[in-house]
Structure formats: C-alpha cells, structure tokens
Structure 1
Amino acid sequence: MTALKAARKPAVRAAKAQSPSRSARARPRPRLSPAAPADSAGRRVIPEIIVGFDEEAVADEGIAALAACPELFVHDAQLVTLVPRAHPGLALARAMPTLRIEPLPSPRLRELLSRSARWLVPQSGDDAQHVVSHVPKWVVSGIASRRHWPGLRPLTAVVTAPVLRPDGTILATPGYDEATGLYLAPREALPTFDDSPTMADARDAAETLLASVEHVPFAAPADQAAWLAMVLTPLARFAVAAGLPLCVVEDSPRSRWSDDVITDIANLVVAGPPVAIDADDLVPSPRRSIDALRENGESIARITNGAARPAVVWRRIHEVLERTRATNGFVWFASTTRAMRDAELNRFALITRCEGGRMTEHDGDAFIRDRTTSDLLVAGLTILRAYQVAGRPPVRLTRWAGFERWSGVVRAAVVWCGLPDPVTSLGQTPEPTNATDAAAADLVVGWSELAAAFPGGATARQALDALEQAPRDRYARLRAAVTVFAPGPLDEQGTATRLGRSLRRHRHEVHEGLSLVLAGSGNQGNRWAVRASSPTSPA
C-alpha cells in the first residue's frame, strides 16, 4: 500500500523561472559611448539629449535638434509642415503637385524629435550611465505648446511662380529661400531670366504683355496701363511688403469682360484659377477665408457677388481686409459695372475699364495662343527687375495715400516703361471715354441748370416740360442727354419713363464735380437734384 501510494505520488515540479524585474530587464540594454563630432563620411552627427529634471532645458535642446529638419517650419506662431496636394483647377496633363501649409501633428513632431536626436535616460541604480529611451510625452507637448522656437526656419508663404524679392532680385530657385522665408514650389518648369535687363528690354516686355490682350476693348490707354499694373502686382507683392490696392475691372453695360480678364491675369502669374470669395463672407468675419488662402499658398482671390454694390460697401470691405492685414501678400480682384462708378472707389482701388463688344471664341483663346504663360511671366518680371537694376529712377507721380510703397515698385515701373499713369483717376473725375459717358455728363451737368426753376428738385416729367417750353438754345446739354437716353416726343409718358430710369442708373456718378441725388419722392414721381461732389469723398 505504501509502495502504491509512493508510485502515485506526483513528481515534484520544477520551479518556475521568475521573470526578471524591470530593473533587471533594463540592465542588458546597451550603453552608448560618447558620439564623435563627425563620422568618416562627414555626415551630421545626431546629438544626444539626456532627459533630466530641468524640463525647460530639455525642451530647448529638443528645439535645437529640430533645426536640422528640412520639413519643419514656423508659420503664424505655430509649427507647420508642407503637404503635397493636387490643384483641382489645373489640367492633369501639366499639373504638378503643389504644397499646402498644414499644422504639424503631435505624433509627427515626436517622430521628428526621435529622428533628430538620441534620447537618453539615467540607468536605474547608476546615474552615471545612460540608456536609450523614447521621446518623453511631456517633451513633445511642451515643445508644441510654445509660440517661439529659436533656430527653426520661418515660413512666410508658399509661392508657385518666381516673384520679386524686397531687395529687387528675382526668386527663381525652387525650395526654401532664407532671405525672404518664401518657399518656391513651381507648378511648371521654370523659365530662365535675365538678371540685368535694360529699359529697352522692359519696354519690349510691356509691348509683349499688352499684345496678349489686344482683343480686350480697354476704354483708354490709361486702362491698359492699369491692366499691366494688375499683372505686376502679384509678382511684386512680397517686394512691396505693404498694403496693395483692390484691383477692379469695370464692365460696360453692354458686355462683361471682367471674368475673362481676371482669370487671364491669374493664369499669367501661374496662380491657377482665382479663389472665389463671396463679398458677404468678408464683412462679418473674414478670418476663416483669409486663413484658408494662407494655408493653400494662394496669391489671388476674387470677390464675387459685388458688381452691383456701391462704393461705400467696397470701402467697408477694403477696411476689413486692411484690418486683418489681408492686403499684405494677397491681391484681391473684383468687378463692377459702369453704373456703379463712384469717385470714392478711386481712393483704394486700381480700376481698369472695358468698353462694349462681344467676346468670341477667338478672343477667349487669344491670351495664350500667341505666347505661352511662361513667356508672359518672364515679361512681367523683366519690367520689375529692369526698374530695380536702373536704380529705381524717380518718376513724377501723384501721391496715393496708403499705397506709397506699391506706387514706388509697381506704378513707377509702369510709367518708367513709357505708359500712362495707371492711377490717372486719382484726385480727379474720370474723363468720358465713349458716347454713354459723355451723355451721362451732359445729363448731370444739364440737370443742374434746372435748379433755378426747381429749387427742391425736378421730376423727369417736369424736366421734359421745361425743355418743351424753353427756347431751343436753352438747356443744350440736357437736351443732348435726353436725345441719347430718352429719344422720342417730349410730351409722351414713355419718354419720361426712360428718362427716369436713366436718372436712377447714373445717380451718385461724379461728372465735372457734380452728381445726381434723390431729393425726394411723391405722387408725381422721384425728384432729382444735383450737388457738388469731391472726387475724394463719397458722392
């Protein structure tokens, strides 16, 4: 029985090996010898950072190590990186990925810290020895929460085409530019530039640019010069480094050229289709739209839904853009109609006027048919660079308050090439450029002659009765305007109706220092009067 129990007695189990303690597991980790200043190939040595109790000092060492990361930048008081993205508005055949500014995620920051340095912690039980460790989380959060990172590269903006630097040279090398903080990420192969162009080269370049839009019916030579200034403004926006004027394309009542003109300018400076921003989104809170422009590296934006707005609304929009510094580095385009012309707009807008005519398919292709966009881009930069090479010779210009630096870089270069001043309307009423403008001036000035007979303003019916009863040699200018705007017998109601519509259409327009205003209304209709208006104040 005893032998049987002994046979059934289980064998003694072998003692289970205990897992080594955490400190025991840490002991076999390799010790690191001090890093040499450089390896045999001359490559950069990764620094070693010992994690201690002075957290600020450890974070400072981590920031110093991050300075060697080529993909890390500081933009708008935050750590950012550049992410490739496809531009949706460009043809796939020639589109190259562009770069978008995006905040650096914390996991990516930790990876960069791990790549930029070897992080060491004291070995347990022996503070004199150190072992490799992961980047502590508190280091990552501490560095990310700072608003100043000494040694990291500041990023001003991403540009997709060469631009003029503040020192007058051309940024034409892809990649990061230490002098300006700009990052050039071209969408197309870069053309070659002459670094020392002459005045003759600049004038040839101006003729090349103007020949590309010879199909556009500009109202006057000054409007061609204004168009050229609009082309040069995006190329010189960082050289100006100050507020830029609002670029306005004014359409005539019979045609609309603004869409094609603005799009062509954007294509010329290789900016792609201009970003459309509704005017109603800018006045209440423009920050979101402006931040999106900065992140995407956009240079041109178009304000839509504003063609029929008066100049006082445009002034409010411009004030909002100035307050948020959105006119620095961005070129804002808009379109208006001839009926909304107001002298107040001349205070902050560069205006080019287009007359009547219909765009054909031939006209739509003319912009890029004879010249490639790279040729036109070179022409624009040639004008700006030649003026800088010449020493920026003084040009006689009327001072434009708030845009002195833009005038010294762009406006002066246009006039230096032999073109009219693109801001000829500054300080004066625009001269009539066609029969409609001349008739509008006759209407306003001629209506002022009725003040003696109608001190409180006259209705359209009263004005026509006065013309019918007065001698033929009296109210000559008003008669000429009625012939254009309201042809027909003076005693017919249809003539009065057409005249009343013309009065509403041309109200607030300044002609020869005068403008039409609504003096009142009653059973007989609206009463219109004329008052003196300064070109530098709202009409």
Structure 2
Amino acid sequence: MNDAVADEPGTHKKAISAADIEIFPVQRSAPTATISDEGPEKGGKSGEGGGAPSLPLSNAEFVAHVFRHLPDGARPIVCSKAGDPETGGWLAEAAGDVDRQCPSDRNNYVNCSSFVPGDDGEINARKEQVAAFHFLMLDDIGTKADRAGLNGCTPSWEIETSPGNSQLGFCLKEPISQEATVKALQDAALRAGLGDRGASGIARWARLPEAINGKAKHADEQGKPFHCRLLAWKPDAIYTVAELAKALGLTLFPVSPLLIRPVRENRQLLTAAQRGDDVYTPRAIENPVLRALHERGLYKRAISHGKHDITCPWASEHTDGLDTGAAYFEPSREYPSGGFCCQHSHGDSYHISHLTEHLGLQPGEARWTARIRVIAGEIPRVRRAAEIVLALQGGYYQAGGAIVSIKTHPLTGDISMVQVSEQELTSALAEAADWEKYDGRSQKWVRCDPPVRTVQLLHRAQGYDHLPHLQGLARQPFVREGDGQLVTAPGYDAASGIYASFDPAAFPLPEPTKEAAHAALAKLKELLTEFHFGSEIDRAASISAMLTGAVRTRLQTAPAFNVTASTPGSGKSYLASAITPFAGPGVPLNLSYPTSADEATKSILSMLLQAPAVAVFDDMQTDWRAFGTMNRMLTSSTITDRILGVSKSATVSTRCLILGTGNNVRPVNDMCRRVITIRLTPRSEAPATLRYEGRPVDLVKAKRGEYVAAALTIIRAWEAAGRPKVDVPNIGSFEQWTDHCRYPLLWLGEPDPASSIIDQLRDDPAQEALGHFVSAWWNCFADKPMTVRKVVDCADNKVELRDALEDLPVTERGYINRGKLGWYLKKHAHRIVNGMEIRPADCSERNAWCVAKVAVRPEALTPVSPLLAA
C-alpha cells in the first residue's frame, strides 16, 4: 500500500469534505479522574467477549482531551469499521460527532496526527496533509513487547485491545510538526523493543476505548468479538519529546535529512517530487529491498537507524540451519547500494548484489534513489528536477539568492551557514539521483555525471522554487517573530525559516512568573559580581547584552555593545567573553574594525554570509566610525551587496550580536544612536593583575543552557505580565529590541540599559562641532544668506568662525576645502542644534545657505531610569 496513507492494513480511504461535518469541539472540558491506573494483572479479568469497558469515558471525551491543542485549520480524524477490520476499505472522517461516528459495537480508531484539508478542500489520511503529531502510541504491550521496557513511565492511557495485550498512549505537551522528530521517537521506541514496525508512521491509527476488536482470532467461544477496555486514564500525564525519551530510556538517533521539514510545508514539494515524467522519475516511497524482504517473510526487526535484522536467504547453508546473524544495511554515502552481511561461514560469498538478485530487483532499485534523464532540449525540466532532488535530499537551503548548507564545527559544535560551491553542488546532485544519458551506440540509457551546464544554471540562479528559505540560525530555543510561539525543538522551522541546533533538555524553562524573572536576574547578576562597572547603568547594559544574545534570532535589529575602559587589562575582553555564550556555543568571529567604507563592505558581507551568532571587534584602535555598511548592519534586518570574486549579489541577514572592545573608544556621528557603551572602571593602577575568582566565563560556558534559559525567562515573564512599559525616550530603529531587552529590565527595577545612547546623542563630538559652527555662523552673519565661497573668505578674518571650521571634516593641510564644506552643509541641512538649523537660502547667487533660529519643542533627552530618578 502507498506509504502516503496510514499504515493500518486495508486498501483505500475515502475522503469527505471538511465543509460537510460538524465543527469539532476542541475547547470542551476533558474528563477527570474516576480512573484506575491498574494494568491487566490488577484491573480485572481480560479476554471476556462482550464485557463492558472498565472506565466511564466516551470516545468523544477521549478525542476531545487528546487533541486539546490543534494547529490552525487542523482536524482529528476517526475511522469506524464493522466486522473484521482487516477486510474492506477504510473510511477516514474528520472528527465531528465522534460517538455517532464511532459506535461502541464497531472497530473504532483515531489517528495519532491531526490533518488539514487538501487543495480540493477534503481531508484525507495522507502524510502530506498531516498538520501535527499529537501522541506516541505503543502497540502490543504484553505480547510482542514487555511491559518492563517502560521503565515505570506512566502512560496517558492504556487500552486492552485483545486478551492480555494493550495499546498505550503518551500525550505530548506540544504537537510535533516535524516528521523527522516523529520518526526519531518511533524508531527509538522500536529499538527499545516497545512495539513492532507496524506501529510506526506519522499517520498511524490507534484504537479508541469504546470499541470492539473484530478480528476472528480474538472472539470468544460464542463467536462474540472482544470488547476493548480502558484500563488506565491519566489525563495529566503529558510529556515533551525530551521528557518522554528520558522517561522511557530511549536514545534518539538522527534521521534522514529527507524529513527535516515540517509536514505541513511538504505538500508543494511532495506533489512536485511525486509527479514523474520522461525526465524525472521520483524515488520510491518505500525502500524496494525492505519491501521485498517483508513480502518474502525475511524481515525480522530494526536494529538501529538504517540497519535491519533479517533472515539469510541461504540459511539452509548455515550450521544446523540456524536463522541468525544476517543483516541488511540501507544505502548510505559509503555504500550507495546498501549492504548485506551474514556472520556464518558463507558470509564472504554473498553480498548486496546477490541479495538484490535473489529478491528479483534490478541493481538500480537497491540504490533507492530518484532518476534524472538528460534529454536534449529539456534544460528547464532537467534543472527543475535537479532542484527537487536536492531539496528532498535535505540539508540544502536558499538564502539571499544563493544555495547554502549548514556546517557544524567539529570542536565547538556550533553551526554556520556556508555557500555551496559548484563542485559541492555537483557531488550533492550525484548523490541525490541516478543521472542517465542515452548512449546511441548501445541503444541504452547509461549512468552519467550531472551535466556541468545543469549545475551552473542551478548554482547561478537568483531564486528557487523548491529549496526551503533559510532566514537564520538559532543555537537555543527561540520565539517566532510572526506568531510569538516558543520553539523548543531543534531542526528547521518552516514557519520562521530558522534552523535550530540545540539540546532541548539543556534549557530548563520555568513558568514565566515575576518571581522566576527576579531569580533569573539574580543568576545573571551573579556572573557579573567581580567586574568593575562604572555605574549600575553599565551593569544593566551588560545584562541587556546577554538578553540580546539570547533572542537575537528574533530581533530584526539590535544595537551593538561597546565595552570600554581607560586602562588596558580592565576586563573588557573578559566581559565580552562572558556575554558571547548567550548567543551561541561556538567561538565568536573576532574581527578588526574596518578603516574604510570599502573594507567595511567586504568584511561585513563576508562575515554575515556565515550567519555567525556573535562578531567581536576586539581591541579596537579607533572609534566606532559610521561607515554605510556598518550603519545598515545595525539598523536593517538585511543588507544586499555583491559577493567578492563572484558576479552575483547576496542578501544576508544581520541577526548577529555585535560587540566591540577598546580603550577609551566611543561611537561617533551616526553610530552614536546605534551603539550602547559599557564602561569598566577598575580602581587599580595595574588592573591586569586583578583576578576573577568566580571564573564567570568558564561558568557560563559550562552551563550555557541554564544561563540562556534565565535570560529567556526574564523576557517571557515580562510578556506573560502583559508587556508593561516604562516612559523612557524612544530609540529609533530599535523598538523591537526595546520591547525584549530594555523594558523587561526596567520592569524588574533595573536602570535603563540604553542610557548611554541618550548620553551619546547629547554629547556626540560631531554634533558638538556642528553646534559650535552654527553658533559662529550666527554670530558672524545672523540669518543673512551666504555662499560657501564668502564663508571661507570671511573665515580668514573671523577667528571664531575659523576655529569652528577647523573642527569640521572639511580641512586639508590647513586649508578649508570648499567642496567638502558644501557637502557638509548639504548633509546637515535642517538639522536642529542649539536651537538653530542650516537651511538652503534664496539668493541670486548659487548654493547660498543661511542659519535660522527655530522653536524647539521640549523633549526628554535625559535618560530616565530608577537609578537616575533616585
């Protein structure tokens, strides 16, 4: 049967229209517990045909509880069959009036997943319509699987489905939207002996409590069918994937990258992938070798991911005819056709080619891959097929108009985004499909390498139809920007376009209360105890930097952080090292601050193409100068520029935590509103000799998950409290950052971490120089229109004006450059400073300017914080 349909025995499932059924009552209250948790050995007699269920719970109440949390537009589905369930078709219906749809005298089932309507508006029990997976079902507990394997883990329910045999369900706190996670969980349960292969699949059916088991072998002496019995009902026993794996003692292995995408997002790709033609033949849904082994009764069980215990086809040649010691290995990079081994004496005589021949398969079928035929004149279709198989292979994305992959650092475990070269793309396409061209001499299709022309067309394209969009990388749980949902599962999240790599168990997240937020804040403050901050505002800014790192993936823009001190050895780099782990586990990118606009463009684009968690301008020798690319990196969510050495542009995300360290460095000009300054002031003539007994950097690296969770708890608690805000000056371009990394700290009574930005805007040397210049202009010319030439000529006789001009970036070798002065006036036209502004003037001569006094409305430029208010 097609694996796109649920794995229960049967043939076809007839769909019904979602518009024709009653809306499912998701919000109804679930039953509570009059319930026993006794197993079959304590819950009464089993196997009595016609016996009533032991616990009072209707099918409708059962389904309402299990599917309390449904994705938008999703519905549970049920199925009811009379007689023997192994005969006839399967009618899948969206759950509506469940007790009517599933009367107790029939075989009744509910699917483990919820489903969304297809393009035709109908709900079908097909994998590509799965919305989410809601519970793990373990079958045949008591017969094929030993109850001791549960390790004492409490199931959400237990239904006796045949004499001495139970089906157990484990509800999930959050439905799983990724098929890869479902498969990893089910495979781990199979390896632990908790069920058989038939109990796997994301569209698996489970029995309802009010039902019969109509299989003839389970009927009593009078021929009456066995009545299923609800033996245990624990509605509060719900688990995360990590909690369930730990409770059952399961080891979750990584699964095929084919399944990395959430199932609801697979529909378009699966439709394209399954639509074959003369160019493209899709990969078989089921492994042909495994299918043939099952059909011939040679399959036993899964040993581990990709490895299967089978009966050797030549078992008669074994000593004493023992049916042991044979295994089949699924295709891999090392063994494209898979492998077969037998530990008996004839093992060297039989290999995978002999096994596939014995099973009646062609050599190409053993590779279990797609096929692309290179047909003359069909370049667009060949290129499209290449993109489809690359997308299905997994691990490849589109970002900024380029094909990228994700690499993991072998030492730190951190991830980075890497552009795929043409050579890598050729290799990937060769692995993803069998390529064939027609050989006129032999009159046959023969295997070949992916054509160079196809590789180039795919590599140099500016957009792709099937490759998933990669918007960024996450190294810890994150909140989606769109719907505000906390994502706690690693892998690719299609809703946000974020790929996450982390261990969910390492990030303990308590209930987001204000008490938990205060405890989390105290934990972060403890890290900073030994640093010598200039003020409590500097400490608050450091905590804000930690929060920024923890949620940088969520924020479209965020300010940079400048850690400065007056003396070398004051702990600047050490403080930066304590902050960077909040953004990611790896070593941050350490860069030199650019010295020119061209250098800034090249270095920043190159840096952001890797999607690093953190970039540090360490030991800066200059101030934070305002180059165009630097400005855009901090106040735009993306930047677009030409890739060095390639005739192609790229659009890259700027979601990276930016830090800088240096002695007495400060932001200037346009960087004043983009950079928060943290000042360290150790009271020592030799601060480099100071010790940090608490070793905060080692501590935060060793327990990164706990500290990141503390930062997230502060933000989540603020949101749970209704997002209370404090009346502080707004900082343009950073409203979202203010919401998540500024207001939560103010809510907890901390000083304003953005105070330095307000101070820098007020004390900016460039603005101070402009203020002196307009004051000198007014004292010399009042509001009289003046040309640049006349201003320069007058400066020779007016000392105040001359001194003001020399403080501006308009002089060269002691002479005032009129062109630069004209550009400076144009750049600062209509900017108000000291109650005056520069304006273009009406004059018979060209390029005249004047200074005019203006009325300035009162604005709160002074930082407002609990500390300053005190």
User: What's the TM-score once normalised by structure 1's chain length?
Assistant: 0.62
**Structure 2 residue aligned with 1:77:** 401
3-state DSSP of counterpart to 2:695 = helix
- Corresponding position of 1:319: 631
SS at match of 1:361: coil
Larger helix proportion of the pair: 1
Please say if 1:361 is aligned against 2:691: yes
The one-letter amino acid of 2:692's match is H
Structure 1 Cα separation of the partners of residues 568 and 598 of structure 2? 33
| Aligned counterpart, 1:330 | 656
Deviation at 1:399, TM superposition (A): 0.7
Quote the offset at 1:210 in angstroms. 0.8
Give CA-to-partner distance per residue, 1:303-345, whole Å, 9 cap, x none: 2453553x6x357784364588488212221235558697976
**Is residue 173 of structure 1 aligned with residue 489 of structure 2?**
yes
Q: How far, CA to CA, are the matches of 1:373 and 1:283 in structure 2?
A: 36
Q: Residue 276 of structure 1 is aligned with which of 590, 593, 597?
A: 590
Preserved contact between residue 472 and residue 553 of structure 2 (Cα < 8 Å): no
Secondary structure of 2:659's aligned partner:
strand
Aligned pairs for 1:427-442 (under 5 A) are 427=758
**What is the identity, as a one-letter code, of the residue corresponding to 1:175?**
G
AA in 2 matched with 1:349: V
Q: How is 1:15-414 mapped onto 2 (pairs within 5 angstroms)?
A: 38-39=285-286, 46-52=369-375, 53-86=377-410, 95-121=411-437, 124=440, 131-134=445-448, 135-166=450-481, 167-186=483-502, 191-194=506-509, 196-241=511-556, 243-252=557-566, 256-281=570-595, 283-306=597-620, 309=623, 313=625, 318-319=630-631, 321-322=633-634, 325=639, 328-337=654-663, 346-357=672-683, 358=687, 360-363=690-693, 365-368=695-698, 372-414=703-745
Partners of 1:245 and 1:321 in 2: how far apart? 9
Count of aligned pairs between the two proteins: 395
Distance 1:316 1:104 in 2: 28
* Deviation, structure 1 residue 229: 0.7
Q: CA distance change for structure 1 residues 296 and 363 in 2, over 3 Å: closer, same or farther? A: farther
Distance in 2 separating the partners of 1:81 and 1:388 = 34
Name the counterpart of 1:468: none
Does the CA-based 8 Å contact 2:532-2:680 persist in structure 1? yes
Separation of aligned partners in 1, 2:453 and 2:462: 16
Secondary structure, in 3 states, of the residue corresponding to 1:374?
helix
Amino acid at match of 1:299: A
Deviates more, 1:313-322 or 1:211-220: 313-322
Task: Provide the C-alpha distance between the structure 2 equivalents of 1:330 and 1:172, rounded to a whole number of angstroms.
Answer: 20
Alpha-carbon spacing, 1:275–1:63, altered in 2? closer, same or farther (3 Å): closer
| Aligned-pair identity (%) | 19
For residue 492 of structure 2, what is the amino acid of its counterpart? Y
Q: Structure 1 pair 215/327, CA: closer, same or farther in 2 (3 Å)?
A: farther
8 A contact 1:245–1:327 mirrored in 2: no
Is the 8 Å Cα contact of residues 246 and 333 (structure 1) preserved in structure 2? yes
Alpha-carbon distance change, 202 to 366 in structure 1, aligned in 2, over 3 angstroms: same
Q: Provide the rounded CA distance (Å) in 2 between the counterparts of 1:350 and 1:61.
A: 49
Query: Partners in 2 of 1:159 and 1:122 — Cα distance?
Result: 46
Q: Is the contact made by 2:619 and 2:662 (CA closer than 8 Å) also made in structure 1?
A: no
TM-aligned CA deviation for residue 106 of structure 1:
3.1
Measure the CA separation in 1 of the matches of 2:384 and 2:665. Answer: 61
- In the TM superposition, residue 78 of structure 1 has moved relative to its aligned partner by 1.8
Query: Structure 2: any 5+ residue segments left out of the alignment?
Result: 1-278, 292-329, 331-364, 640-651, 763-797, 801-832, 835-858, 862-870
Q: 5+ unaligned residues in a row in structure 1: which ranges? A: 1-31, 87-94, 432-454, 458-512, 515-533
> Match for 1:379: what amino acid?
A
Kept in 1, the 8 Å contact 2:399–2:470? The answer is yes
Deviation at 1:209, TM superposition (A): 0.2
1:365 maps to amino acid:
R
The one-letter amino acid paired with 1:278 is: S
2: CA distance, partners of 1:333 / 1:37: 50
Give the residue type in structure 1 aligned to 2:534.
A
**Which amino acid in the other structure matches residue 142 of structure 1?**
L
Using the alignment, how far apart are the partners of 1:288 and 1:36 within structure 2?
42
The answer (yes or no) to whether the contact 2:474–2:501 under 8 Å persists in 1 is: yes
In the alignment, the residues of structure 2 paired with residue 66 and residue 335 of structure 1 have an alpha-carbon distance, to the nearest angstrom, of: 43
Cα distance in 2 between the residues matched to 1:189 and 1:225:
28
Q: Distance in 2 between matches of 1:372 and 1:194?
A: 14
TM-score (structure 2 length as normaliser): 0.40
User: What is the deviation of 1:251?
Assistant: 1.6
Kindly indicate whether the alpha-carbon contact (under 8 Å) linking 1:65 and 1:117 is maintained by their aligned counterparts in 2: yes
Are residues 410 and 36 of structure 1, via their aligned partners in 2, closer, same or farther at CA, if it must alter by over 3 Å? closer
- Quote the Cα distance in structure 2 between the aligned partners of 1:154 and 1:130: 39
RMSD: 4.2
Moved more, 145-154 or 289-298: 289-298
Deviation at 1:254, TM superposition (A): 8.6
* Other-structure match for 1:462: none
Contact 1:343 1:429 in 2 (8 A): no
SS in 1 for 2:553: helix
Structure 1 residues 223-244: Cα deviation after superposition (integer angstroms, max 9, x where no partner)? 2211111111122222111x32
Q: Compute the displacement of 1:260 (Å).
A: 1.5
Shift of 1:412: 1.7
Rounded to whole Å, the distance in 1 between the matches of 2:728 and 2:558 is: 17
Structure-1 separation of matches of 2:736 and 2:541? 17
Partner residue of 1:424 out of 739, 755, 765: 755
Q: Conserved in 2, the CA contact under 8 Å of 1:99 and 1:296?
A: no
Change (3 A) 1:362 1:83: closer
* Cα distance in structure 1, aligned partners of 2:547 and 2:613: 12
Equivalent AA in structure 2 for residue 103 of structure 1? Q
1:469-490: CA deviations, max 9, x gaps?
Answer: xxxxxxxxxxxxxxxxxxxxxx
Provide the rounded CA distance (Å) in 2 between the counterparts of 1:372 and 1:59. Answer: 47
Matched AA of 1:68: L
Contact 1:255 1:355 survives alignment (8 Å): no
What SS does the aligned partner of 2:739 have? helix
More strand as a share of residues: 2
Contact 1:164 1:384 in 2 (8 A): no
Q: Which has the higher contact order (CA 8 A, sep 6+)?
A: 1
Counterpart Cα distance in 2 of 1:376 and 1:238: 17
Deviation at 1:120, TM superposition (A): 4.7
